[in-house]
Amino acid sequence: MADGPLVTGNLVLTENFITTPGFFSLSHGRSAMRATGVQWTNPLETSNWDAQVAKQNHPAQSFFHGSAWANVLTETYGYKPLYLVTGESGVIHSLLPFMEIKSALTGKRAVALPFTDNCEPLCSDNAGFKELFRNAVELGKLRGWEYLEFRGGQKLLGDTTPSLSFCGHSLDLPLDENAFFSRLKSPVRRAIHKAEKSGVRVEISPEIEAVKNFYALHCKSRKKHGLPPQPFSFFKNIHKHVLAKGLGAVILARWKKNPVAGSIFFHGDGPAIYKFGASDDAFQHLRGNNLAMWEAIRWLSRRGARKLDLGRTSVGNEGLRRFKLGWNAQENKLAYFRFSLPKEKFVSARDESSGGYNRVFRTLPFFASRIIGKVLYRHWA
């Protein structure tokens, strides 16, 4: 970006702040929020960011709107946080979070938010969203973005055709574990009993050793699906900024000394989140995935969580969809929206989790796949 302020329409943009003239200003990304207007802020440089978001008390608020996830993304991939907000007197009225991605391979763009299944704009009405959206478009033109991507926002975008759709699933967590268990689909109950009778045991831990064990399973699962694994630095930063802060845990199922299945859950304000799952196909018959999920549900419920977001599922992934529905999860449509700045309209996108490259990655040795994942994922978000 050029030195000095840039002016376009009703926006003033400098390297350190963006404001609507006549309202309020930000210095070095720190929010004053003295009067209503639109501003850019960096949650990692804004004091009490998480408390401000929690104070908004928006029904769609989730873990992903907080500073922990922003820390993971910026520290792992070097993305720039550009969170557009309106508010006054330290209270957020509307929030539209973006990470700016600069890539020589895939272009310059803003995503809300990378590697996030669902991150709804936190706007109480359409007028608030439209104001933030208009300012985001102007900001994007100044910074040379190819597009904006929203991972959520169907209620605010009305009849706009989604660029890409997934299945979303959520689960009401039990107050009565026995009653909840009795309502599970019979194949799920049988799988849990089988895992227990086979001697599978579950560990719940926030420690880095548990993360390392999970990562080994993650690499095996990604190879099975024909995808490179995320770099270990990503999971190391999840440990640093999430698990070590008491905001999640690794659920690891073992048979004898072997890790056979695992998952990573986040929890905080809003619903708990099932973020990652992995398993060793050689032990699939032991049904460790089912027992790990059951113990995670019990653990989260006892910690006071009342809802669990099971994340997105590609429309064609019938096996994963069946697994989630087996827990009596509620299914909904999860819509993503991509707005092209050069074309000034919403455009279609494709689910990049499948393609001809899957066959290639299934054949690569682990070390090669890990190297490719380390290079690619900062561009592939």
How many Cα atoms within 13 Å fall on the side-chain side of residue 232? 16
Q: Is the pLDDT of residue 33 over 80?
A: no
Burial label, 267 (beta-carbon count in 10 A; 0-12, 13-18, 19+): buried
Between CA 341 and CA 345 the distance in angstroms is: 7
Q: Is the pLDDT of residue 91 over 60?
A: yes
CATH pick for 6-158 out of 3.30.420, 3.40.630, 3.40.50, 1.25.40: 3.40.630
CATH 3.40.630.30 fits 167-334+364-376, yes or no: yes
Distance of CA 129 to the CA centre of its chain: 20
Pick the closest to residue 229 from 370, 328, 120 (CA basis).
Answer: 370
Give me 87's structure tokens.
């508010």
Of the pLDDT bands very low, low, confident and very high (cuts 50, 70, 90), residue 23 is: very low
User: DSSP per residue over 80-149, as a string?
Assistant: EEEEEEEEETTEEEEEEEEEEE--TTT--EEEESTT-S----B-SSHHHHHHHHHHHHHHHHHHT-SEEE
Same fold, 6-158 and 167-334+364-376: yes
Among 31-45, 60-74, 177-191, name the one with the lowest average pLDDT: 31-45
User: How far from 53 is each of 23, 44, 97, 218, 269, CA to CA, in Å?
Assistant: 21, 13, 12, 32, 9
DSSP type of residue 355: S
Query: Cα angle vertex 219, ends 216, 224, to 5°?
Result: 130
**Helix ranges restricted to H, the chain:** 49-56, 67-77, 126-143, 154-157, 177-183, 186-197, 208-225, 232-241, 288-302, 318-325, 357-363, 366-376
Between CA 77 and CA 157 the distance in angstroms is: 29
Q: What is the pLDDT of residues 52-85, one digit of tens each?
A: 999 988 999 999 999 999 999 999 999 999 999 9
pTM to 2 decimal places: 0.89
Domain range list for the chain:
6-158, 167-334+364-376
pLDDT at 17 (0 to 100): 33
Matching residue, tokens 């066959």: 359
